[in-house]
Structure 1
Amino acid sequence: MTSSSPLLALRDLSVAFRTGAGEVSAVRDVSLELAPGETLAVVGESGSGKSTTAAAINRLLPGNGRITAGKVLFEGRDLASLREKQMTGIRGAQIGLVPQDPMSNLNPLQRIGHQIEEALTVHGKAGRGTARGKAVELLELVGIPDPEKRVDQYPHEFSGGMRQRVLIAIGLACRPRLLIADEPTSALDVTVQRRILDQLALLTQEMGTSVFLITHDLGLAAERADRMVVMRRGEIVESGDSAQILSNPEHEYTKQLIAAVPSLAVERAPAREAVRVAGGAPDARADDALVRIDELTKVFTLRGRGGATNDFAAVDSVSFDIPRGRTVAIVGESGSGKSTTANLVLALETPTSGRIDFEGTDMVSLDRKGLFAFRRRVQPVFQNPYASLDPRFPVGRSIAEPLVVHRIGDSRSRRDRVVELLEQVALAPALADRLPHELSGGQRQRVAIARALALSPDLVVLDEAVSALDVVVQAQVLDLLAELQQQLGLSYLFISHDLAVVRMVSDVVHVMQRGRFVESGTPEQIFGSPQQEYTRELLAAIPRARAA
């Protein structure tokens, strides 16, 4: 810390939301301080009030939300009392923001470079002649490969993790005094995560920039934050030195959070071990394969300025099997080809070459009727719960939608099934009548998982399905997936950058880099004795509290 006066001070802050049932309190009497150059981590379950507190600081609460009491002091000024015009001059220039959801915060109609340039020019940090060069520098800073080419592309041409890195570049563009980072690395692999967080640390050292870090990753909080605040149900239950809280928590809730953190020292969740013991360890090429993939390749044509094109092999000659009743994981950096592989298996992309056989049938040869039947048996859970749920529909309708499309049951049986599914993913049945924006990010992801399970599929493709969940709910969902696999014989294709989670849930692990598998084996082989330098780099980049 570089000053005795806090840069940010919350004094008895309370926030409430207007709902159809009346006003609901979301944050109650929160008081905390953040000094210049300090990083403060705010941790807690989904719905604990972390993001609402951050939104109140920046005066970006939803229309039905308001600060009901307290002060938000930034450099001595109470932001809660400022007019909107005054706040406009503070946001971006003095208080940067890295939001959680890349798709709803990037304009799909504008090139990536233009959106970064706009952040620079609006606040006078660059002129028209220099803004493009600075945008390229920022993309390089956050680890985007080929930034000179990527700067001219659109958000849909980036992976989820790469889009998140663009948001980080925008948040850092004006070198703000305070950076509010709401789960800034939840979509990032560990190597890029380390690079981003190293850059945040550098800003802190050079400029005295303070970081208000919201995260459900306790290992990251312990490694990166000076102090930690633990929130539950809108209140602070514990605060203090990060390392001290992690090593010697006082509050029972903090102890529960720490106990739920996945660790590389834990080889397998008990329910997953029961599945494995029952069936033995599968080979990479299995006799009982539900899905068999041979020499799978997907080439995209990227367009740049002046109509120039460049071919990019997102998936390059990949072969593997997904056995019945087992979990196959693919890990690797953002942009390595993991999600493209998942989309090919889901028949959402067409292979450039190679085969995907589902129970012996080549997926490429399926007609419209065959593809419809296939989609009943193979269901996705995507990385982004915000984009995968229709904002106009109550979540109960979204969960029931697959049943309606496939003409399963009547309206009453569908309602009963929705209640059953909500309870399976640890959500109250009453949430069926809520709209997605009324749920937290973690709750929305659980709704997406419930919808995927509605048709009792044979294969579920989970693309970063637990990356948005706090550790307690994540543990619940992983146990649920294991139990369902044991009961129903489900197969999972598990796409993740969280190596500790992968070790817990998988039977076979494939490490992917630049469109190819560079190493494959059992979790014990990959995590206990990695053969490739790239795999060792991934393991070395894991925040220490989770690797221990």
Structure 2
Amino acid sequence: MTPLLQIRDLSVAFRTRKQDVTVVKNVSMEILAGQTVAVVGESGSGKSTTAAAVNRLLPDNGRITGGQVLFEGRDLATASRKEMTAIRGAGIGLVPQDPMSNLNPLMRIGDQIAEALEVHGVATGKAAQARAVELLDMVGIPEPARRAAQYPHEFSGGMRQRALIAMGLACRPRLLIADEPTSALDVTVQRRILDQLGRLTAEMGTAVLLITHDLALAAERADTVAVMYQGEIVETGPAAGILAEPGHDYTRRLLKAVPSLASARVPEPPRDAPDLVVVENLRKVFPARGSGEEFTAVDDVSFTIPRGHTVSIVGESGSGKSTTANLVLGLDEPTSGAIRFDGTDLAGLRRRELFAFRRRVQPVFQNPYASLDPRYTVEKSITEPLRVHRVGTAAERRKTAAELLEKVSLPASMGERLPHELSGGQRQRVAIARALALSPDLVVLDEAVSALDVLVQAQILDLLAELQRELGLSYLFISHDLAVVRMISHAVHVMHEGTIVESGTTEEIFDHPRDDYTRELLAAIPGRAASR
């Protein structure tokens, strides 16, 4: 059988200020019709660059320096811009990694999906709008007709990612490039989406090139796995074979670092620690655009965060986790209820007191693309909070930035780079370094490790645990990755549709779940059976 996609000795280089840097070196692989091939590896290994080269969507400073990309026999490396426009979407669909920079903030979600259908002549007018609603329903977005009329900022991070998946599938392409398509999704929606991709592959012979740092996901969903390291493919083979008997040392290190429900957990802190944060009967209502109705995002939520403890909130996308985090950070005001930090009600803080509060509470947001200023170097981003709060001299701040970069496993030389020169995982590490700059009492981590490969994720989790032991830090950890939550948490709250449906210690939630929704979340974890 002739492969649908053949990559032969592909090399890609980026022009930096001084010279060309080769980031993909002589990569070769092939994908048959209906086959799913997963490319796994750490952040910065060249996975996403390889995918971008296939679709000819490299950044302006990137270029293919050698090799061929044959799609249905046509070399895309030499195709014209007009040919590539016709191929993208209809022949090769794309689900990119970052939803906020790939959705138009000024267009309604439904219009953006309909536009993709109209450009490729699949449907027009009302038929395109109706199909857009069907696609949103297919990827698990509730009330799809109402949601289709909303803008990207009105969607949660996971819902935006689902909208991108709907757009990628809209024209039923022959090859779908899925670049970390479920990294922002909770496990139940992840399973639904990947089941849908599997059905599409079976029905139409659509091939899938899956770029992921999630080895459990690759093992469960791919026919073939290619492991990338420093721009090269170091191992390729059937998914089951590579995971059962990895041949390369790097693959073995990746497998060892994968978090599972059997992974070692952080030690318990003292049980009599005083509460740093007390949340009581919290409620947040948003007006629904254009309808005059109200949407309750958070409803009667109560919990505490003791000093030196990690408290996690888990639940599917749109459940109210990130809204709760924003309320605790003081970035939004509750409709009712109270938040007390170190005994002080946030509602009563004046401007100067709020400034002091922000020094003690630092966020790491879900989306590193949006949370770093594209005009700032990495060093400037990390030193910004120190500068704002007038901590240290310029030389001391630079030294602190270099130390923080090393703490999050990045070289100090990375400080000279701009965000667009970093991979998604590298950007998130910079965001974590920036949050630690002021030595806060509480760090709110909103999906902070979801963009990281397993090796760096393990390093970051170890770092967070070490800092907690050394400095007595408290963490509010928002995540859909239940294996990570089990590793790092001392208490867990499960949110569903704006309310907490179950609370308990980590053991109680994971070993003896009482609520049906909690049991559904646990059952949907990729590779769970193998980890128990």
Tell me which interval the TM-score lies in, with the shorter structure as reference length: over 0.9
2:500 corresponds in structure 1 to 517
Aligned counterpart for 1:111 among listed residues 83, 108, 111: 108
Cα distance in 2 between the residues matched to 1:522 and 1:460: 20
Q: CA deviation at 1:67?
A: 0.6
Aligned counterpart for 1:417 among listed residues 400, 407, 411: 400
1:448 aligned to 2:431?
yes
* Aligned residue runs from structure 1 range 87-126, under 5 A: 87-126=84-123
Aligned counterpart for 1:294 among listed residues 280, 287, 302: 280
1:321 is paired with a residue whose SS is: strand
Cα distance in 1 between the residues matched to 2:274 and 2:73: 66
Aligned counterpart for 1:531 among listed residues 493, 514, 519: 514
Contact kept, 8 Å, 2:114 with 2:124, in 1: the verdict is no
For residues 48-69 of structure 1, what are the alpha-carbon distances to aligned partners after superposition, in whole Å with 9 as ceiling and x for unaligned? Answer: 1100000000000011111111
Q: Which runs of 5+ in 1 are unaligned?
A: none
> TM-score, normalised to structure 2's length?
0.99
Contact kept, 8 Å, 1:385 with 1:444, in 2: the verdict is yes
For residues 45-92 of structure 1, what are the alpha-carbon distances to aligned partners after superposition, in whole Å with 9 as ceiling and x for unaligned? Answer: 001110000000000001111111100000011011111111000001
Cα distance in 1 between the residues matched to 2:323 and 2:244: 40
Q: CA deviation at 1:310?
A: 2.2
Q: CA deviation at 1:374?
A: 0.3
1:397 corresponds in structure 2 to 380
Which AA in structure 2 matches 1:139?
L
Contact kept, 8 Å, 1:177 with 1:208, in 2: the verdict is yes
2:401 is paired with a residue whose SS is: helix
Q: CA deviation at 1:367?
A: 1.1
Aligned counterpart for 2:38 among listed residues 38, 41, 47: 41
Aligned counterpart for 1:431 among listed residues 414, 430, 453: 414
Cα distance in 2 between the residues matched to 1:300 and 1:537: 28
1:32 is paired with a residue whose SS is: strand
Cα distance in 2 between the residues matched to 1:90 and 1:356: 52
Contact kept, 8 Å, 2:313 with 2:493, in 1: the verdict is yes
For residues 181-225 of structure 1, what are the alpha-carbon distances to aligned partners after superposition, in whole Å with 9 as ceiling and x for unaligned? Answer: 000000000000000000000110000000000000000000000
Cα distance in 2 between the residues matched to 1:129 and 1:388: 37
Q: CA deviation at 1:120?
A: 0.6
1:71 corresponds in structure 2 to 68
Which AA in structure 1 matches 2:428?
Q
* Aligned residue runs from structure 1 range 323-338, under 5 A: 323-338=306-321
* Aligned residue runs from structure 1 range 70-469, under 5 A: 70-268=67-265, 272-273=266-267, 276=268, 278-280=269-271, 288-303=274-289, 307-469=290-452
Q: CA deviation at 1:267?
A: 4.6
Which AA in structure 2 matches 1:39?
T
Which AA in structure 2 matches 1:22?
Q
Which AA in structure 1 matches 2:275?
A
1:23 aligned to 2:39?
no
For residues 247-302 of structure 1, what are the alpha-carbon distances to aligned partners after superposition, in whole Å with 9 as ceiling and x for unaligned? Answer: 1111000000000000001251xxx22xx1x514x7xxxx6100000000001111
Contact kept, 8 Å, 1:6 with 1:36, in 2: the verdict is yes
1:540 corresponds in structure 2 to 523
Contact kept, 8 Å, 2:235 with 2:247, in 1: the verdict is yes
For residues 372-405 of structure 1, what are the alpha-carbon distances to aligned partners after superposition, in whole Å with 9 as ceiling and x for unaligned? Answer: 1100000000000000000011010000000011
Distance change >3 Å, CA 547–CA 146, structure 1 → 2: farther
Cα distance in 1 between the residues matched to 2:525 and 2:303: 26
Cα distance in 2 between the residues matched to 1:172 and 1:454: 42
Q: CA deviation at 1:129?
A: 2.2
Contact kept, 8 Å, 2:176 with 2:206, in 1: the verdict is yes
Cα distance in 2 between the residues matched to 1:387 and 1:358: 27
Cα distance in 2 between the residues matched to 1:449 and 1:381: 6
2:482 corresponds in structure 1 to 499
For residues 86-109 of structure 1, what are the alpha-carbon distances to aligned partners after superposition, in whole Å with 9 as ceiling and x for unaligned? Answer: 100000111000000000000111
Cα distance in 2 between the residues matched to 1:547 and 1:65: 40
Cα distance in 2 between the residues matched to 1:132 and 1:321: 45
Cα distance in 2 between the residues matched to 1:327 and 1:16: 42
Cα distance in 2 between the residues matched to 1:158 and 1:311: 15
1:309 is paired with a residue whose SS is: coil
Q: CA deviation at 1:410?
A: 1.0
Cα distance in 2 between the residues matched to 1:234 and 1:99: 20
Q: CA deviation at 1:25?
A: 0.5
1:62 aligned to 2:45?
no
Cα distance in 2 between the residues matched to 1:128 and 1:365: 51
Which AA in structure 1 matches 2:221?
R
1:475 aligned to 2:458?
yes
Cα distance in 1 between the residues matched to 2:48 and 2:427: 15
Contact kept, 8 Å, 1:116 with 1:170, in 2: the verdict is yes
Q: CA deviation at 1:21?
A: 2.3
1:36 is paired with a residue whose SS is: coil
Cα distance in 1 between the residues matched to 2:172 and 2:484: 34
Which AA in structure 2 matches 1:260?
A
Which AA in structure 2 matches 1:297?
R
Cα distance in 2 between the residues matched to 1:266 and 1:90: 44
Q: CA deviation at 1:309?
A: 2.5
For residues 314-361 of structure 1, what are the alpha-carbon distances to aligned partners after superposition, in whole Å with 9 as ceiling and x for unaligned? Answer: 100000001000000000000000000000000111000000001111
Q: Name the Cα RMSD after superposition.
A: 0.9
Contact kept, 8 Å, 2:378 with 2:418, in 1: the verdict is yes
Contact kept, 8 Å, 1:394 with 1:436, in 2: the verdict is yes
1:13 aligned to 2:42?
no
Which AA in structure 2 matches 1:279?
P
Cα distance in 1 between the residues matched to 2:332 and 2:531: 35
Cα distance in 1 between the residues matched to 2:154 and 2:56: 32
2:485 is paired with a residue whose SS is: helix
Q: Which runs of 5+ in 2 are unaligned?
A: none
Cα distance in 2 between the residues matched to 1:240 and 1:377: 49
